[in-house]
Amino acid sequence: MRINKVLAVFKKDYREMRRSEKVWTILIPSIIIVIVTPLINLLHPEAMTPQTQQQIEEIIAKPPPEIAPEIQNMSPEQALRYMIAIILAMPIFTFFPLIVSVPVATDSFAGEKERKTIESLLAAPITIKELLLGKMFLSFSLSVCTTWIDFILYTLIVNIVNYPLFHTVMFPNIFMILFVVTFVPLISFFGVSGTVIVSARARSMREAQQLAGILILALIPIIAVPLISGLFLSKIFIILFSLFLLALDIILFIISVNVFEAENLVIFR
Amino acid sequence: MSAIFVEGLTKRFGQLTAVDSLTFTIRKGEVFGILGPNGAGKTTTVRMLVCILKPTHGSATIAGYDILKEPEKVKKIIGYLPENPSLYERLSAVENLDFYAELYEIPRNVRIRKIKELLEFFNLSNRKNEKVGTYSKGMKQKLALARALINDPEILFLDEPTSGLDPKVAKTVRDLISKLAKKEERTIVLCSHNLAEVEKLCNRVMIINRGKMVDIGTVDELAKTLRDRSRCIVKVKLEEVSKRIIKELQKINYVKSIRVSGNSFLVELEDEDLIPEFAKEVTKVGRLISLNPLKPTLEEVYLGLVEKDENK
C-alpha cells in the first residue's frame, strides 16, 4: 500500500468535488437544517409534532437513569428545552453522515465509470486497493468533517438560543459527544462501503444512487427503533450499538474490496 | 527482440468469446496496427495487454513482464490512450497531467518540466489552467495523448489517436508516432479505423474478426495473401493501343479480362507469377512503356480478408 498514490487519488477527487455544484446542493441544505431546526423547535416547542412532544414529556416524567441527574435540578422549562436539544440532535446527526457520504461516494465511483474516466486510471500504476482507499477516504472524511462542523454549529445555536434561560453552556452532554464521536464515523463508513458495492455493479450514477438509497432505507429501521424508544440515552447502548455498526462496517469493507475489480468497472454486464 | 509476446490470449464474457486464442509478437520499435470491424475484439485485446482485464486463458508479456504476474511493472512502462479521451473535465489540463504524473511517481521538478513540454508540444499552453470541459474535441484528444506520454513510455497503446483532430494536428500526431518509433525505438500498438493512416504508419498489421486473428503481416504480405487467393491486376502502358493489340492479348489463356483507358489498360491475370511471361507477350504486340502490378490498398486488403473470414 503506497500512501502517496492513495493521497493522489484523494487530492484529485477533492479538486473535482470542490468544482461540482452537486456537492454544494448537499452541503448547504445540511447546514441550513442544522441552524433552522433548533431555532424553530427551541423557540417554539409547540411547532413539534404531537408525538415528539409526547415522547419528550414521557422522558422528562420518567428520565433514563443516566439522564435523571442532569435534569433533576432543572426547571420544567429548562428540562423541556434540554430534552428537545438532545432528541432533535440524535436523528439529525445519525442520518447526516449518510446523506452526505452516499452522493459524494456515488459521484466518485459510479461517476468515474459513467464519465468514462476510469479506463486510463485502471491502466495507470495504481492498485485497485489504493484507488479504492483514496476514493473512500474522500467520501468518508468529507462526511465526517461536515457532520462534525454541523454539530459544532448546532451546539452554538442551541447554546445561544438557550443562554437567557440557562445562563451557562447547556449542550452537549457526554451522551451527545460519545454519540457524535462514535456514530458519525461508523455510519459514514457504512454509507461509503455500501455505495462502493452498488457503484461497482451499477450501470450509471442514477442507478447507483437508487441502489444506495435502498441500502439507506434498510438501515433506517435498525437506527430508528432505538432512536424513538430513547435507547440512545444510555451509554452502554451507544457502545454496544457502535460495536454492532463496527462489525457491519468491517463486513461491508471486505465485500467492497472484493467487488471493486477493474473488470466490473469497465464492463457493463 | 520482441517487445510484446502474446500466446493463446483468450477472453470470455459468459458465453461470448470476445478474444479467441490470439498469438503474435511485436518487435521493439515497431508500429503495429490492429484492425477489425466493430466488436472484433480489438479493444478487449488492448485492455488485456494494458492489464485492465484479466485473460480467461493464455498469457502475454510486455517488455518481458508478465501481464498476470507483474501488472504493476507493465503499467509503469506503458502509455495508454483509450478510445474515449478519458479526461477529468472539472480539472484543468495541468491538473489532469499532474495527477497522472503523481501516479507514475515522477519527481516534482521533472513533472513540472514534462507537463510544460507536453502542453507546448500539443499547443495547449495558452489554455492549460482552464477546465478541460471547455475544450474542443480535438484539444481533449491532444491532452489525452499528452497524458499517455507523461511517463515517457517504452510501449504505447493508442486507440484511434487522430480521431477528432483536424488534418494539421492529425499530421503532427502521425509525425510524432513515426518519430517515437523510428528515432526513439518506442513500440506502438495502434488501433484505428483510418486505414490510410495505418498503411502509412504501421510496419505490420494484424486483422482480427470475431475475436480471431484473420491475418498478420506487413501490408505487402497481406496484399500478397489476398492476391494469392483471388486476382492479380497489372497496369500496362503502351506507346499506342489498338483494337488489334487488345484482341491479341485477350487470346492469351491466363488473361481473365482487359479494360482499356487511353493508351493504357488494366489486365486481370490468373496468377501473380505469370506477370513476367505476360510482359514478354506484350512486347511482341506493341511498344511497351511500363507494366506495373497494381498494389491493392490496405482498405482493399482489409475488406477482402474480412469478407473472406465472414464467408467461412
Measured between alpha carbons, how far is A95 from A147 in angstroms, rounded to an integer?
10
User: What pLDDT shows up at residue A235?
Assistant: 76
Q: What is the pLDDT of residues A210-229, one digit of tens each?
A: 888 887 787 777 777 766 66
Mean pLDDT across chain B, nearest whole number? 88
Structural domain boundaries, residue A78: 3-266
Q: Do A127 and B82 count as a contact with CB atoms less than 8 A apart? A: no
Confidence check: pLDDT of B228 > 70:
no
Site from A2, A11, A119, A267 to mutate, B interface, most B CB atoms within 10 angstroms: A119
pLDDT tens by residue, B39-89: 889 999 999 999 999 999 999 999 999 999 999 999 999 999 998 888 999
> Percentage of residues in chain A with pLDDT exceeding 70?
94
pLDDT for B153 equals 94
Sheet holding B65-66, edge to edge: B16-27, B2-13, B57-62, B65-66
| Interchain pair B90, A124: CB under 8 A | no
Q: What is the mean pLDDT of residues A14-21?
A: 86
Is the CB of residue B108 less than 8 Å away from at least one CB of chain A? Answer: no
- Across-strand partners of B191? B34, B159
3-state secondary structure of B147: helix
Cβ within 8 Å, pair A263-B54 = yes
B206 within 8 A of B24, measured Cβ to Cβ: yes
A196 with A259: CB under 8 angstroms?
A: yes
Among B86, B94, B108, the residue to mutate for chain A (most A Cβ within 10 A) = B86
Q: Which of B27, B31, B30 is nearest to B5 (CA)?
A: B27
Q: Does B90 touch chain A (CB under 8 A)?
A: yes
Instruction: Please report, rounded to a whole number, the percentage of residues in chain A having pLDDT higher than 90.
Output: 15
**The total number of structural domains that make up chain A:** 1
Distance from C-alpha of A134 to C-alpha of A128, rounded to nearest angstrom: 10
- pLDDT digits over A45-68, tens only? 666 677 777 777 777 777 777 777
**Average pLDDT over every residue of A10-17:** 91
Instruction: Calculate mean pLDDT across residues B11-16.
Output: 90
pLDDT above 80 for A26? no
Report which of A47, A142, A29, A38 is spatially closest to residue A91, judged by C-alpha positions: A38
What local confidence, expressed as pLDDT, does residue B266 receive? 84
Q: Measure in Å the smallest separation between the Cα of B166 and chain A Cα atoms.
A: 23
Greatest C-alpha distance within chain A: 66
pLDDT tens column, B134-184: 998 888 989 999 999 999 999 999 998 887 778 888 888 888 888 888 888
pLDDT, tens digit, 9 for 90 and up, residues A111-141: 888 888 989 999 999 988 899 899 889 889 9
Size of interface A-B (CB pairs under 8 A): 81
- pLDDT confidence tier of residue A258, bands split at 50, 70 and 90: confident
What pLDDT sits at residue B274?
85
Give the pLDDT band of residue B231 (cuts 50, 70, 90): low
Domains recognised in chain B with CATH numbers: 2-217 (3.40.50.300), 230-310 (3.30.70.100)
Segment B273-301 shows an average pLDDT of 83
What is the model's pLDDT at position A269?
A: 47
